[in-house]
Structure 1
């Protein structure tokens, strides 16, 4: 049985926009769509599910659709469903969030704890028709971006668009490159040049997805700034999330928090496997 794409609904306009986006996404990947609501009394939940189901059927009539009402707090319910999900799709704001919040509390909690990719739908309807023709993925030093790259290549494949791989690095790294290696350190333990970091990360997935055109961007600037600028003309932004050492859940970090709050387009947070 194919695992479903799960979308959380609460009746807010943001969650209905998430349903629209998720219906399109389920159709692209040919996976079932599961609508999940948690917390409201049964009669209210039934009404909310009905409205969301109508929108999903209108947007993607061929997608296999199901729904579920869970009687626990929304974040815990969605994290639980994410253990057997293709991905979790959420709106950027919920009904219970305070005015002025940039990102809803449930969306942030789920993005920090889920075992599967979490997509927070931002940017409105213009990001539903793939008008920009690109998927942007952030690539960091180390192994934290591997799963995110696989997700991003797969998104570019089903969207028939290009992949833009971005690696940002700090100006302090240049001084490290120009300085002689510290005594006792082998050459292989020195940090790699930024372009090599990106090339090394892309080598494996680019071989597996040879039909995907890839643009490489290596930029000397803050990762937050570079990713937000790149996302301004992207259909979706993809970032990786590392596991916490000795703790349950993910370490989103300052950069992921920033893009979750400020990205102009839908953003996918993909946990490292």
Structure 2
């Protein structure tokens, strides 16, 4: 059975734009869509009940949010099967658990709280750092709108190109969308080092990029690019006209801290296009 694409919704406009993105993605994959609202409303609402419904006010609001999101998805892609759920628990835990049985997990770039209005927000960072499936954070352009139309997929290749899952994900996304894949490897050397040392750094970057892409199917359209500079800045620049930026995140079994590298953390906060963080299990 094919796994669904799961979307975390909270009623904010960014989460509704995530529904739009995920609905289109589900249509491309031939997958179903699962819309989830998670909140420990008892902590904030106490036992206050909505009049005549015998339910907590926040639960009634949550059910209305997922119903609105479902109507939005159905209006956008009537052929996509949509299910909804309201979970009375912390969103971080609920969404990480959902990621165990999802093809991908999609989130908006910001949530409803005032804290979440700055950068990505703690829920998105936590989920991206612990999820079992690819997490897509739907960032928009500078005017905060979701980018539409056919744009290339950008893949960030690290110094240790062992992120096979991220490569596979990026290749598959590019094929589904009928767009090229641009694989980018940033390299750096000391500013005072020129000539032969710089050339060696660049040559090593080319070799590492080739190693990362060695199993890519021959029929995939892949553009390889090595760029001098810090990986964060190189990838953020590449995101300016990208349709999706894909980066890997290594997961270590038995490690309970946030498993999200510095580059992934930076692009989640500042990318100009949606970002996919793809976990790679050791």
TM-score bracket relative to the smaller structure: 0.7 to 0.9
Residue 127 of structure 1 is matched in structure 2 by 147
Give yes or no for the alignment of 1:167 onto 2:178. Answer: no
Summarize deviations over 1:159-192 as a string: whole Å, max 9, x none: 00000000001114996x968xxxxxxxxxxx97
Residue in structure 2 matched with residue 113 of structure 1 by the alignment: 130
Of 143-152 and 86-95, the range deviating more from structure 2: 143-152
**Tell me, which stretches of 5 or more residues in structure 2 are unaligned?**
42-57
Matches within 5 A, 1:179-258: 193-205=204-216, 208=217, 210-244=218-252, 246-248=254-256, 251-258=259-266
Q: CA deviation at 1:125?
A: 3.9
Could you tell me how far 1:266 is from its partner in structure 2?
0.3
Question: Which structure 1 residue ranges, 4+ long, deviate > 4 Å from structure 2?
Answer: 172-175
TM-score, length of structure 1 as denominator length: 0.88
In structure 2, the residue corresponding to 1:68 is in which secondary structure? strand
Give how far 1:261 is off.
0.4
Shift of residue 119 of structure 1? 0.3
| Number of corresponding residues | 258
Residue correspondence of structure 1 range 127-166 to structure 2 within 5 A: 127-130=147-150, 133-166=151-184
Task: Find the aligned partners of 1:99 and 1:82 in 2 and give their Cα distance.
Answer: 21
TM-score of the pair, normalised by structure 2: 0.85
Distance 1:89 1:174 in 2: 43
- Contact residue 114 and residue 249 of structure 1 kept, 8 A: no
Find the counterpart in structure 2 of residue 2 from structure 1. Answer: 2
Query: What SS class does the counterpart of residue 193 from structure 1 fall into?
Result: helix
**Deviations 1:59-105 (CA, angstroms, capped at 9, x unpaired):** 11101110111111011100000001001000010001427511121
- RMSD value, Cα: 2.3
- Counterpart of 2:107 in structure 1 is 90
The one of 240, 262, 265 equivalent to 2:270 is: 262
Q: SS of 1:272's equivalent?
A: strand
How big is each residue's C-alpha offset from its partner over 1:219-242, in whole Å with a ceiling of 9 and x where there is no partner?
111001110111111100000001
The residue number in structure 2 matching 1:65 is 82
Q: Is the 8 A contact 1:243 1:250 kept in 2?
A: no
Please give the alpha-carbon distance, in whole angstroms, between the structure 2 residues aligned to 1:165 and 1:117. Answer: 18
Q: Is the 8 A contact 1:134 1:163 kept in 2?
A: yes
How far apart are the structure 2 equivalents of 1:5 and 1:260?
19
